[in-house]
Amino acid sequence: MSRKKSADTYAQPSLFDEPISLSDKDIKAQIEHLRAELHRHNRNYYVLNAPEISDQEFDAMMRELQELERANPQYFDPNSPTQRVGSDLGSGGFPTVRHERPMLSLGNTYNRAEVTEFYERIKDGLDGEPFQICCELKFDGLSISLLYEEGRLIRAVTRGDGVQGDDVTANVRTIRSVPLVLNSSDKVVNPWPARFEIRGEVLMPWDSFNNLNAERAEAEEPLFANPRNAASGSLKTKDSSVVAHRGLDAYLYFLLGSDIPTESHYQNMQTAKSWGFKVSEHTRLASSVDEIFEFIDYWDEARHRLPFAIDGIVLKVDSIAQQQKLGYTAKSPRWAIAYKYKAERARTRLLSVSYQVGRTGAVTPVANMEPVDLAGTVVRRASLHNEDIILGLDLRQGDYVYVEKAGEIIPQIVGVDKSARIESLKPAIEFPDHCPACGHELVRVEGEAAHYCPNEAGCPPQIKGKIEHFISRDAMNIGSLGPETVDDYYERGLIHNAADLYMLRLEDLAGTDLSREVSARKILAAIEQSKQASLDRVIFALGIRFVGKVVARLLSQHYHSLDALRTASQEDLGEVEGVGNIIAESVVRWFSDPDNLQFLERLRSFGVRMEEENQTVLSEKLKDKSIVISGTFQKHSREEYKNLIFLHGGKNASSISNKTSFILAGENMGPSKLEKAQKLGIPLMNEDEFLQLIETNT
């Protein structure tokens, strides 16, 4: 979905359209206006699925607000739409917050008879009063409690132990379906309490989950087993800029407070929906146990068509007064229960464990099993991930194992039928200590679960894997080549790394009798065309660990050339939005390897693009200079000044340090930056002085 139509009625003149001087009052008013409009458009897009403006218009408004907030830090607001990108300034751990009301867990059942018993207990407990049961989907995610005051998000806390949880407010602010500020126009129709709590589930939709695992597979990182683990792991990430790129979503399902709108749980959630919260449209009221089972049976099949994972159904007494009358046990409410669908499981025999070596050298064990039907597909193989999994299962060749589809997608072994184990079976399977492909001794980095083969230059699977990554669709997009062809060229000695592709000749590929001339010419044409690949594709193609498509694009947009990226320090890289310390360290490590630099120079010599298109450097007047931009400008936008710095050989830095050469300072420079510049003795330069320095009239 994209924001569909232009909305001229919402367009406001940009503060940067005219070189005018605005009062502090005008600037504050424009900031508040932009925030209100962006909050409204976020809700239209992510909650109502009814966008009113185009992506370009939305982005332009966001950029203007970012510029204003940078120049006027006194108006900082943690609930501003600009804060949804997250920050990499995570602390060593999350603060622990005590819940105002305990977050109790629900009693679970997989048994239909127990659902009937629950219904009868409710009937008995209410002494014959009529009641309804609210039937809801049980989202497979991470429970969250959101606190709002005067329509503004104040705090987001995980369930934790039910009494206290982790304060993950910064991360939750990056979830675009969570309203940061409620729309004041909604309050006229359905007023919200001055202070209330709303609870729900943070989850990862299937599309986000599949994209994340595809990126992790490409980087040869361990895959998340299911969307719940992915959502939980993402929300507990210290770097909220990483969380912002994970595509999390949130559904809310319970409203609490001293002044909630009605005595009906169902109606309260419909009201919360009108305030801007994302509430499931699949909730239903049931007046009998038969209607409950109709709901359960329908979603047992229909759940497979949802864009997110559910693992059951939640049943709640609808009346708040009746909920209070029924009360609680020590661990759970008496007025609610969760009916969980059984995961599909199959039993089969483990034939062997093989080991795959990927392009980063990671060695992954794979279980080879007798074919078994599971959730509609025939399963023969399942990843065992790492040595710890094998040890935990105590696997023996010939064991009968239980297999489930984690998240109904990825087959995994979840247990061993030890009652069927034959005593004469071989000892427990042991992870190899040498690479199964090249024989080199494996290493295991402290803090990581995977074993790696460090023989990058001499391990065939790593070499071929890097070439296959280089030619892939999202990298250099040499579509005429495939894994089989790469393997053939490697075995014939035609290529030893991806740069050798640009040395291939027609006679190498067409055969002595030219019988493959047509396909050979097609391959050579695709290789030639790849030289024009955009910079972000080239960065991605290099195969730097942890640098996926999104990060490659961020680095391309920030540095504009591979030369600028190559000379960036870990500190500078860590300041790029969306690039945390782990990625920064990996990039610096890659560019510090002489073999990688030689590979890069070979690509350059063959004509592969090393900079953004139409970004020819005009001069070296700013060579080796690190420049910070702060404030607002009259003659050019900040982005235009960033580009001018790049075109004249300089480097843009986002924060001031003792390595900063000077600050290009506009009006309303942030006071904190000014104070730091004065403390470090960093010179300031206005835009006229800067333009004179580079001697340009643009």
Task: For residues 571 and 495, give the distance between their C-alpha atoms in angstroms, rounded to a whole number.
Answer: 36
CB under 8 Å to 590, separation ≥6 — which residues?
542, 544, 545, 596
DSSP alpha helices (H): ranges in 173-288? 184-189, 206-218, 227-235, 240-244, 265-275
> For the chain, percent helix, then strand, then coil, each to nearest 5?
40, 20, 40
Give the tokens for residue 498: 């991806």
CA 447 → CA 152, 236, 242, 247, 433, distances in Å? 39, 17, 20, 26, 18
Residue 456 burial by Cβ neighbours in a 10 Å radius (0-12, 13-18, 19+): middle
In degrees and rounded to multiples of 5, residue 248 shows phi and psi of -70, 160
Task: For residues 312 and 331, give the distance between their C-alpha atoms in angstroms, rounded to a whole number.
Answer: 20
Q: Residue 372: beta bridge partners?
A: 379
In degrees and rounded to multiples of 5, residue 380 shows phi and psi of -120, -25
Contacts 24+ apart (CB under 8 A), 212-216: 212/246, 212/247, 213/410, 215/548, 215/549, 215/550
Q: What's CA 78's distance to the chain center, in Å?
A: 21
Catalytic residue flag (residue 138): yes
Q: Contact at 8 Å (CB) between 346 and 333?
A: no
The vertex-298 CA angle with 293 and 301, nearest 5°, equals: 130
Q: What is the chain's length?
A: 698
Which candidate, 393, 455, 389, places its Cα nearest to that of 222?
389
CB under 8 Å to 86, separation ≥6 — which residues?
170, 171, 173, 174, 239, 240, 241, 242, 243, 244
Give the tokens for residue 581: 């310390």
Contacts 24+ apart (CB under 8 A), 527-530: 527/478, 527/481, 527/501, 527/502, 530/471, 530/476, 530/477, 530/478, 530/608
Among 138, 316, 405, 464, the one annotated catalytic? 138
Which residue numbers are catalytic? 138
